[in-house]
Amino acid sequence: MSSAELREHAPAAPIWDAKTPADPTFLKLKGVTKSYGGGFLAVDDLDINLPKGKLLGLLGPSGCGKTTTLRMIAGLQDITSGTISIEGDDISQRPPYRRDIGLVFQNYALFPHMTVAENVAFGLDMRGVSKSEARGRVEEALEMVRLPGYGARKPKEMSGGQQQRVALARALVIRPRILLLDEPLSNLDAKLRDDMRVEIREIQQRLEITTVFVTHDQVEALTMCDLVGVMHGGKLAQLGTPEDIYERPANLFVAEFVGRANVLGCEIEAVDRVRIGSSTYPCDTKGASSGKATAALRPHRIQLSPSRDRSLVSIATNSTHGKVVRVTYIGDVVQYDIDIGGSVLTTEVHTSSAGHSFRTGEKLLCEWKPEDMQIFKGGR
Amino acid sequence: MIGRMSLPFRMLVALLYIFLLAPILIVLPLSFSNDAYLTFPPQSWGLRWYAAMFRHQGLMEALWVSLGVAATVTILGLAAGVPAAFAIRRYEFTGRDFILNLFTAPLLLPSIVLGLAILLVFVQARLLGTYTGLVIAHLIVTTPYVIRIMLTAFSTLPPSVEEAATMLGAPPFTVFRRVTLPLMMPGFVASAALSFLLSFDEVVISLFITGPRMRTLPVEIFDYVESQTDPMTAAVSVVLVVATLLIIFLIERTLGLSKTVGKS
């Protein structure tokens, strides 16, 4: 049967059917630890529960342990202690080739001596799937990644984005229990990255395949994932929905790593206000009533207006006067750096065709809502 | 060379080629001489010495010894050198650099030194003039080349390609057979060919350890030239040159083919 015929006969046949209700702990990592000689803990007592069909993004700077975590789930690295289980089935000690896990590598890792079809069929061959069934499933998988009819090509005859899609088809055609993606987009150029982001998410949701995605790019983590685990120093700094992570960062590391934030040293005066410099600002200190703290404030959550009398300003907002010290035109936004007496606030304003409104040296009033200022215990 | 070669440079290259090929240019006509003695240019022409060569018992026996030794050395050298290179490239272990240097040290030693050392050891071990002795001595020469070539070959194979096969359900040996081995093919062919030719060609060390009952072809030719001065050695040389060229040509073809599929 030719590939064209196959396409006609099975236009949108799902290669997946997983309409089972979400299991809250489909993938479970319990106390997972990786230590190297000399007591260095690459991953330190990690607990993660991932429901079925969800996409978890592990986000963090290099060396935070996210890739090590992924490789331990895959079985390519031993775990020092703890357990990893899928649907209650402990796979911690199982060799990687018997885990039924799909893995897409950053550098695609296609077999250069095989055609695209042979690459995709490799996992089926390992599972003893008959040649004729394999041919159909390979073509289905290639269609799913929008590369129908590319089977006869060699990987090196394809672009980076196409190779990445072949790698995805190769990982998915074996119907793995979970899918792991190791920085799959970082070798692609910006435009292609945006397209692939949407495409991978779309396929993941259609197949409802439980997926762990490692990235250092916060945009990828926030836009693609159901859950984001921010990792820092081998530990989970925060695990939550993208909105949780961005709006309610659990600690200063998350606040600074995800999105941008002005970070200001402050003194807690009471549970509902802090002092920065000589001014006092209402805010939620999360129960703390004294001591040194750090305030984080997103640049675009600060409203700017020409300077006026502070007594006219709503008491529902925080405000301060400042002087523009730098104007940076970025395209979508203009960034104003504003000296508020001792420290500099970075602010962002969306641009419009009318041009940008403020100039260097201009005196402005900066206002923000108390809930937009996050307070973290401890100084910097 | 990047760009086009200038005229003086091309003349230099041509001169070098003439210098390198001059012996062959003289040997080739000599081999078709029908004279009883080496004279250039030959007085009469024919295939007399080619026929004589194939009837010469000593030469033919030595040829078979050389072919057998070279084949054995090639197989054993690959069997030892490939895993050694793999371990050195893929695993971290104490003494790795030391082992690498130890394995490749014979590349730096003059053959005459190696030959003398081997002679001294082989006298004790009663390996002089034996097939086993020849194989061991040649392995000392060829294995470092195998290790060197395979180190390079392994370093061009990203580990993630093998890991990808593992994740798709291939146990370690299947990964080796289906992925590592095919991608290493150019390296294997190059190491095998080089081992074979090095062993087949080896004179210095062989001179130390061959005896009256066990001679390799180069040693036999060497002895023959010392005692006789007829054009048969020219005929032997031409046959060897043609055979070597044939091997190189075959490798070039297979390597060329492998390269087109072996690079990502």
Looking at A220, A252, A284, which one is the last position of a domain?
A252
- pLDDT value for A17: 43
Quick one: DSSP state of residue A23? P
Interface of B with A in 172-201 (CB under 8 A): 172, 174, 178-179, 182-183
pLDDT at A267 over 50: yes
Please report where in the chains the tokens 């993941």 appear, as a residue: A204
Question: Out of A98, A109, A122, whose CB is closest to B158?
Answer: A109
**Does residue A174 sit in the same domain as residue A207?**
yes
> What's the rounded Cα separation, in Å, for the pair A188 and A219?
15
**Does residue A90 sit in the same domain as residue A39?**
yes
- B205 near B141, Cβ under 8 Å? yes
Structure confidence by residue, pLDDT tens digits, B105-139? 888 888 889 889 999 999 898 888 888 999 999 99
- pLDDT value for A311: 59
Looking at A252, A276, A292, which one is the last position of a domain?
A252
Q: What is the mean pLDDT of residues A174-178?
A: 94
Asked if B262's CB is within 8 angstroms of A107's CB, the reply is: no
Run of H or E residues at A68: helix A66-74
pLDDT classification of A355: cutoffs 50, 70, 90? low
Quick one: DSSP state of residue A242? H
pLDDT at A208 over 70: yes
Chain B residue numbers with beta carbons less than 8 Å from the beta carbon of A118 are none
Edge-to-edge strand list for the sheet holding A273-276? A279-282, A273-276, A262-270, A291-297, A373-377
By mean pLDDT, which of A11-25, A167-181, A193-207 is the weakest? Answer: A11-25
CA B30 to chain centre: 26
Contact B158/A at CB under 8 A: yes
SS3 A167: helix
Reported residue count of chain A is 380
Structure confidence by residue, pLDDT tens digits, B146-184? 999 999 888 888 889 999 999 999 999 999 899 988 888
**Does residue A212 sit in the same domain as residue A281?**
no
Q: What is the mean pLDDT of residues A240-265?
A: 91
Structure confidence by residue, pLDDT tens digits, A12-29? 434 444 444 455 789 999
Q: CA dist B51 to A177, B176, B241, Å?
A: 72, 48, 17
Asked if A74's CB is within 8 angstroms of B164's CB, the reply is: no
Q: What is the CATH number of the domain that holds A25?
A: 3.40.50.300
pLDDT classification of B257: cutoffs 50, 70, 90? very low
Percent of residues, chain A, with pLDDT higher than 90: 57
Percentage helix, strand, coil, to 5, in chain A?
A: 30, 35, 40
Asked if B160's CB is within 8 angstroms of A122's CB, the reply is: no
Average pLDDT value for chain B: 86
- pLDDT value for A313: 61
More confident residue, B212 or A150: A150
**Does residue A240 sit in the same domain as residue A364?**
no
pLDDT at A379 over 80: no
- pLDDT value for A280: 84
- pLDDT value for A25: 83
Q: CA dist A297 to A141, A277, B221, Å?
A: 46, 16, 88
Edge-to-edge strand list for the sheet holding A101-104? A101-104, A178-182, A210-215, A55-59, A227-232, A235-240
Asked if B168's CB is within 8 angstroms of A113's CB, the reply is: no
- pLDDT value for A380: 63
Interface of B with A in 63-92 (CB under 8 A): none
Chain A residue numbers with beta carbons less than 8 Å from the beta carbon of B168 are 97, 122-123, 126, 170-171, 174
pLDDT at A1 over 50: no
Edge-to-edge strand list for the sheet holding A344-350? A303-306, A363-368, A318-329, A333-339, A344-350
B99-135: burial string, b at 16+ Cβ within 10 Å, e else: ebeebbebeeeebeebbeebbeebeeeebbebeebbb
Chain A residue numbers with beta carbons less than 8 Å from the beta carbon of B165 are 111, 122
Percent of residues, chain A, with pLDDT higher than 70: 90
> What's the rounded Cα separation, in Å, for the pair A114 and A128?
18
Which of these, A175, A224, A304, lies nearest to A57 by C-alpha position? A224
| Residue B56 burial (CB count, 10 A) | 17
Chain B residue numbers with beta carbons less than 8 Å from the beta carbon of A95 are 171
Asked if B168's CB is within 8 angstroms of A123's CB, the reply is: yes
- B176 near B83, Cβ under 8 Å? no
Chain A residue numbers with beta carbons less than 8 Å from the beta carbon of B187 are none
Q: Tell me how close the Cα of A286 comes to any Cα of chain B, in angstroms.
A: 46
Structure confidence by residue, pLDDT tens digits, B236-247? 889 888 888 888
By mean pLDDT, which of A9-13, A228-232, A263-267, B38-42 is the weakest? Answer: A9-13
Asked if A107's CB is within 8 angstroms of B158's CB, the reply is: yes
The stretches of A239-311 forming alpha helices (DSSP H) are 242-247, 252-257
Six-digit token string for B204: 């210095």
**Does residue A165 sit in the same domain as residue A190?**
yes
Six-digit token string for A267: 């003194």
Interface test with B, best of A126, A170, A175 (most B CBs within 10 A): A126
SS3 A274: strand
pLDDT at A3 over 60: no
> What is the CATH topology of the domain spanning B60-262?
MetI-like fold (1.10.3720)
- pLDDT value for A75: 95
Asked if B166's CB is within 8 angstroms of A76's CB, the reply is: yes
Contact B171/A at CB under 8 A: yes
**Does residue A73 sit in the same domain as residue A208?**
yes
- pLDDT value for A309: 62
pLDDT classification of B199: cutoffs 50, 70, 90? very high
pLDDT classification of B33: cutoffs 50, 70, 90? confident
Q: What is the CATH number of the domain that holds A366?
A: 2.40.50.100
- pLDDT value for B174: 94
Six-digit token string for B172: 């370690």
Asked if A100's CB is within 8 angstroms of B160's CB, the reply is: no
Nearest CA in chain A to B168: A123
Chain B residue numbers with beta carbons less than 8 Å from the beta carbon of A96 are 163, 166-167
ipTM for the whole predicted complex goes beyond 0.90: no
- Domain coverage including residue A330: 260-377
Asked if B178's CB is within 8 angstroms of A101's CB, the reply is: no
Structure confidence by residue, pLDDT tens digits, A283-301? 888 888 888 899 999 998 9
Question: Out of A105, A109, A127, whose CB is closest to B169?
Answer: A127
pLDDT at B101 over 60: yes
3-state secondary structure chain B: CCCCCCHHHHHHHHHHHHHHHHHHHHHHHHHCECCCCCCCCCCCECCHHHHHHHHCHHHHHHHHHHHHHHHHHHHHHHHHHHHHHHHHHHCCCCCHHHHHHHHHHHHCCCHHHHHHHHHHHHHHHCCCCCHHHHHHHHHHHHHHHHHHHHHHHHHCCCHHHHHHHHHCCCCHHHHHHHHHHHHHHHHHHHHHHHHHHHHHHCCHHHHHHCECCECCHHHHHHHHHHHCCCCHHHHHHHHHHHHHHHHHHHHHHHHHHHHHHHCC
pLDDT at A10 over 60: no
Structure confidence by residue, pLDDT tens digits, A66-120? 999 999 999 999 999 999 999 989 999 999 999 999 999 999 999 999 999 999 9
Q: CA dist A294 to A98, A331, A376, B114, B263, Å?
A: 48, 31, 5, 72, 53
B127, HSE (Cβ side, Cα atoms, 13 Å): 16
**Does residue A235 sit in the same domain as residue A357?**
no
Average pLDDT value for chain A: 87
pTM above 0.80, yes or no: no
Six-digit token string for B156: 């061009």
Which of these, A15, A253, A334, A229, lies nearest to A143 by C-alpha position? A15
Asked if A103's CB is within 8 angstroms of B167's CB, the reply is: yes
Contact B262/A at CB under 8 A: yes
pLDDT at A5 over 60: no
Q: Tell me how close the Cα of A50 comes to any Cα of chain B, in angstroms.
A: 21
Query: In chain A, which residues touch B (CB < 8 A)?
Result: 74, 76, 95-103, 105-107, 109-113, 122-123, 126-127, 154-156, 167, 170-171, 174
- pLDDT value for A50: 94
Q: Tell me how close the Cα of B196 comes to any Cα of chain A, in angstroms.
A: 27
- pLDDT value for A54: 94
Structure confidence by residue, pLDDT tens digits, B47-90? 888 888 888 888 889 999 999 999 999 999 999 999 899 888 88
Please report where in the chains the tokens 């026996």 appear, as a residue: B61
- pLDDT value for B79: 94
Question: Out of B158, B170, B183, whose CB is closest to A113?
Answer: B183
Looking at A208, A227, A252, which one is the last position of a domain?
A252
> What's the rounded Cα separation, in Å, for the pair A144 and A10?
12
**Does residue A85 sit in the same domain as residue A170?**
yes
Structure confidence by residue, pLDDT tens digits, A209-232? 999 999 999 989 999 999 999 999
Six-digit token string for B45: 């022409």
- B162 near B175, Cβ under 8 Å? yes
Structure confidence by residue, pLDDT tens digits, A123-148? 999 999 999 999 999 999 999 999 99
Nearest CA in chain B to A180: B167
- The number of folded domains in chain A is 2
